[in-house]
Structure 1
Amino acid sequence: MTEYPKLSTSTTKIITFERRHIRPIPEDERTGKPRGLFFIWLGINMLPLTVVTGALGPTLFALPLEWTILAIVVGNVIGGFGAALHASQGPQLGIPQMLQARAQFGYFGGSLLAFIALLMFLGFFASNLVVAAQSFDAVFGGGLLNVGIIVCAVVALVFAIFGYDLVRKAMAVFSVIIGVLVVVSLLLALTNPAAYATTRDLVFTPAGFFGMLAIGVTWQLAYAPYVSDYSRYMPKGIGSRQAFWATYSGLVIGTVGVMVLGALVGLTTGDDGNSMAALGSLLGGFGPVVLFAFGIASAVMNSSNIYSGVMCALTVLESVAARVRIDTGKRIGMTVGYALLATLAAVFGQNDFLLVFKDFVFVLLYVLIPWSAINLVDYFVLRKGHYDVEAMFRRDGGVYGRWNGIGLACYAAGILVQIPFMVTTMYTGPLAEPLGYVDLAWVVGFIVPAVLYVAWERAVAPQRSAVR
């Protein structure tokens, strides 16, 4: 294993400038703590976008409040477990999450998965910009959504340029502030009779319940491609167990609390889908305080989507450009370009935001589930956490090769088996109607590639050993 020299920092001891990029974090630089990791994942969901997502129960699926809350809890508990399992890999390997995909899909094959994750981070960053701008617009008025989007993007960009340390500390601070405001908001919303005087025609349907449950699962698994970006700073050994529980508890507690608030807001959200305006009305005089805090928190915490998106972009860049050396200049340049692209997407996509966001979430589910299944069974069932990290940085892929046909074929199979079960506004599979439009695509999309990958890898293992 190559020894990487300890790098000096360019700022004070309070904030450390990011210089490792996608390289392994040496043992003597593993300063992460379980408490800090918990607050990262608690705070990352203290965002207005989480409120909007919780509101989808009443607004999109026409679910009653109690069924929406149940679907939120069950979906997040299931999805959070998968995300936390990915987080436990960080302390063991010390590298970003999607760079690990090279072990299952090969050096170049892993870059395909990193590119898919890059697009996911881009979508979440743009979505957060829209909702943060809506929060400010609900407070100040004036219809300056585009200005709000640009300001929020600049704030997130500054934090992302500094990197892991500043992002981590900012998220920890805001998680406490917004957490207190969310608790107060929940109490005010629950005791406000206006929340229950909804004019919506709400009724339980299996399709609506499982659709909302699937969104909860997706919301958590959407963090799987970058949980190790932060847990890789935890110490090796016991850090894996601590990383799991810190990530799981932070993700589930933070998400469920804010989504339940969103479910209450969804009861009074207008046909325009502006849940931030509905939240402000529901909270009365306390509304502007919460909306302003949500807007600031979203601008700051959104930096995590740039940071991890750039980690994926650098992984792709290193693969396709053999002579490019990943350094601080490349990371900063990529960060600026990434933020600019997402800002343009937010500005031009804000009018159809709610419909686009719903389909975006479901597409995420379809493409992430097979990757998650393959990664988890490879790590926990086949290799049991033992990898050659140095080989992942070799252009020939070392023991993992340039392309892993088994991993890529199983991933493709995981996508294909979901198609008959898909339920979106863009496409509905032939098996959706017989199942009452209950979206079960993500279930088969996890089981099939996981079983196929384990069986296939075990079948070829003796041949590989003989060749070696």
Structure 2
Amino acid sequence: MSEARTGTDHYVDASTQPETRGIEVIGDSERHGRARDLFFVWAAPGVSILNFTIGATLILLGLEIWQAIAVIVAASLLWVFPGLIAASGPAAGTSGSVVTRAMYGIIGNKLFVAFVGWFIGAVFLSLTWLASSFMGADLLRRIGLDDPVWVPIGVTVVVSAVTVLVAIFGHGLILRIYPVMAVVLFVIFILVSAFILPTVDWGYAAPEPLGGVALWSAISVGFTILASTPLSFINSPDIARYLPRSTKPSHIAAATALGGALPFIVFTSVGVLLATGLKASAFDAGIDVALFDLLPGWIGPLLVVGVIVNTIALNAMTTYTSSMALQAIGFRLRRIPAAIVVGVVGTALTIYLVLSSSLLEAANLLLQFLVIVSGPAMAIYVVDVLRRHYVYDGVDLFDDRRGGRYWYTGGWSIPGIAALLLGGLATAMCLATDVWAGPIAQALGHVDLSVPVGMAVSAIVYAVLSRTRLGKEGRL
């Protein structure tokens, strides 16, 4: 069996000390907290300028205000999926990157976590650090520090360092400070929204009203961009795993889903309204620059603080869970050194994007391609927790011997791997982006059905194959 199985010493999950626990199984005596604590943990990352950016994109696609908000509400319903899988954390007492061994097998899961888990983590680390880098650099430019290379790099490095520090202190600190972060961010972004509202064109009409296939293309592409956010949080079990085993899954699902969905709806809708009052040249300059130009001078620094706090909230969580993913892959690293490695990789990717793209371009393209892996992976996870009724044995998940419960076929779960590959292929064939349009998307006039089709294919393939001998646990 692998070395990291259960915590042998009693561990105290406190906010005042670095968390040394990694993927080890959490004993019942060490469990604590309530499901409702998760609400603010998920709300803080959602109060984001990235939501402003995504909302503005819907207007750029040619949608009317009511159409854009309807798409936002529809996409917000997908937050139920991170909620549903979150309860597998306390059920197994370990991280989601270990629980997925039940879906992909001991060896198959290593590749899944390495490519799928790390890809999702890297994208969100870079996107949110990118936002803070652009806005921090723009603020410094306005006070005279305008080096186009070293200023954004400097902002990225400073924010990254603070983010990794929070991830090092881990779960206890996250539970303690995220409620405060959520309140601070809500106040800042509501204040910013109040100054945006007078600029809104409430009678806005798209320059060229869309209809027919063109309308459905815009709606579907917008939905795909929005859907990538909730579908990417396959790490929700990691945050919930310290909860007592008796905590109701429905309560965990509700707190996680509502915490993510409510700020998602509010601030993405504000981004829609913001875009109605902007000229085309403002989009060319960037949403971050446009915001600064709309706001009184004294609010600009406050907005940058909000962006940086939100960046730390989202990326500290991502770095924290990605550090455990490194352990689940098989790297013999303690969680704290693993968090530092994750931070260095994310920082390097962010610096590359800072020097090569705009926030709007980077966000839209990366979020669309993200669903190729995040949608199928989320669908498989949801099917698995529902068919098992949240029954996972944490000790069995660490049994990596041939013939162990999750060894399956030579260390691979054929149902999980097949569902992931076929779902990803179906997603890619239905995806419509500026640089790639799958054959199905092209045949439909660039209508993007990647999310529903990819998730449906993965869910059906996994559910069917899991009932055959290929899904029999413990095979050699």
Alignment-derived partner of residue 306 in structure 1: 319
Aligned twin of 2:440:
431
Does 2:343 correspond to 1:339? yes
> Is the Cα–Cα contact under 8 Å of residues 41 and 247 in structure 1 kept in the other structure?
yes
Residue 157 of structure 1 corresponds to: 164
- Report the Cα offset of residue 3 of structure 1: 5.9
5 Å-filtered alignment, 1:148-187, equals 148-187=155-194
Distance 1:316 1:279 in 2: 42
Indicate if the aligned counterparts of 1:418 and 1:445 stay in contact, CA closer than 8 A.
yes
**Counterpart in the other structure of 1:132:** 132
Aligned mates of 1:51, 1:396 — CA distance in 2: 48
Instruction: Give the equivalent residue in structure 2 for 1:215.
Output: 225
- 2:253 corresponding residue in structure 1: 244
**Which letter maps to 2:307?**
G
Residues 427 and 451, structure 2, Cα contact 8 Å, conserved in 1: yes
CA distance in 2, matches of 1:304, 1:76: 20
SS of the aligned residue for 2:173 comes to helix
Asked if the contact 1:222–1:368 (Cα under 8 Å) also holds between the matched residues in 2, the reply is yes
- Say if 1:464 and 1:212 are closer, same or farther in 2 by CA, change over 3 A: closer
User: Distance between the aligned counterparts of 1:165 and 1:202, measured in 2?
Assistant: 52
Whether 1:264 and 2:273 are equivalent positions in the alignment is yes
Give me the whole-angstrom Cα distance separating, in 1, the residues matched to 2:117 and 2:473: 33
- Aligned counterparts of 1:216 and 1:299: Cα–Cα separation in 2: 18
Question: Does the Cα contact within 8 Å between 2:156 and 2:347 map onto a contact in 1?
Answer: yes
Query: What is aligned with 2:369?
Result: 363
Judging changes above 3 Å, is the alpha-carbon distance between structure 1 residues 148 and 62 closer, same or farther for their aligned structure 2 residues? farther
Alignment of 1:257-336 (within 5 A): 257-267=266-276, 268=278, 270-272=282-284, 274-285=286-297, 287-301=299-313, 302-318=315-331, 324=332, 326=333, 330-336=334-340
Structure 1 residue 249: Cα displacement: 0.7
> After superposition, where does 1:52-63 map in structure 2 within 5 Å?
52-59=53-60, 61-63=61-63
**8 Å contact kept, 1:18–1:164:** yes
Q: Is the 8 A contact 2:167 2:319 kept in 1?
A: yes
SS in structure 1 at match of 2:245: coil
Question: Do the aligned residues in 2 keep the contact of 1:126 with 1:342 (CA within 8 Å)?
Answer: yes
> 1:131 deviation in Å?
0.5
- Closer, same or farther: CA 195–339 of 1 in aligned 2, 3 Å: farther
Q: 1:88 to 1:464 in 2, by over 3 A?
A: closer
* Counterpart Cα distance in 2 of 1:368 and 1:422: 13
CA–CA distance in structure 2, aligned partners of residues 467 and 218 of structure 1: 35
CA distance 1:148–1:94, change in 2 (3 Å): same
Q: How much has 1:239 moved relative to structure 2? A: 3.8
CA distance in 1, matches of 2:248, 2:9: 21
The alpha-carbon deviation at position 429 of structure 1 amounts to 1.5
1:156 to partner: Cα distance: 0.5
State the alpha-carbon separation in 1 of the partners of residues 186 and 261 from structure 2.
13
Residue in structure 2 matched with residue 68 of structure 1 by the alignment:
68
Unpaired segments ≥5 residues, structure 1 = 319-323
C-alpha offsets along residues 181-216 of structure 1, whole Å, 9 cap, x if unaligned?
2223333322x1365698983644211112112222
Paired residues of 1:135 and 1:294 also in contact (CA < 8 A): no
Residue 321 of structure 1 corresponds to which residue in structure 2?
none
Deviates more, 1:452-461 or 1:332-341: 452-461
* Aligned pairs for 1:222-237 within 5 A: 222-223=232-233, 225-237=234-246
Residue correspondences, number: 451
CA contact 1:276–1:291 (8 Å) conserved in 2: no
Cα shift at 1:426? 2.6
Native 8 Å contact 1:33 1:234 kept in 2: yes
Aligned with 1:418: secondary structure? helix
Unaligned runs of 5+ in 2: none
* Map of 1:377 onto structure 2: 383
What TM-score comes out, normalization by structure 1 length?
0.89
TM-aligned CA distance change 1:431 to 1:27, over 3 Å: same
Question: Counterpart amino acid of 2:52?
Answer: V
Between the aligned partners of 2:382 and 2:250, the Cα distance in structure 1 is: 15
- Residue aligning to 1:20: 21
Matches of 2:201 and 2:127 in 1, distance apart?
26
TM-fit CA distance, 1:273: 5.2
Distance 2:191 2:39 in 1: 21
Letter in 2 for 1:213: F
2:353 corresponds to which of 349, 353, 364: 349
Identity between Structure 1 and Structure 2 (%): 22
Q: Residues 435 and 455 (structure 1 numbering): CA distance in 2 closer, same or farther, change over 3 Å?
A: same
Q: CA RMSD in A?
A: 2.6
- Tell me if 1:193 matches 2:199: yes
Q: 2:396 maps to what in 1?
A: 391
Aligned to 1:47: 48
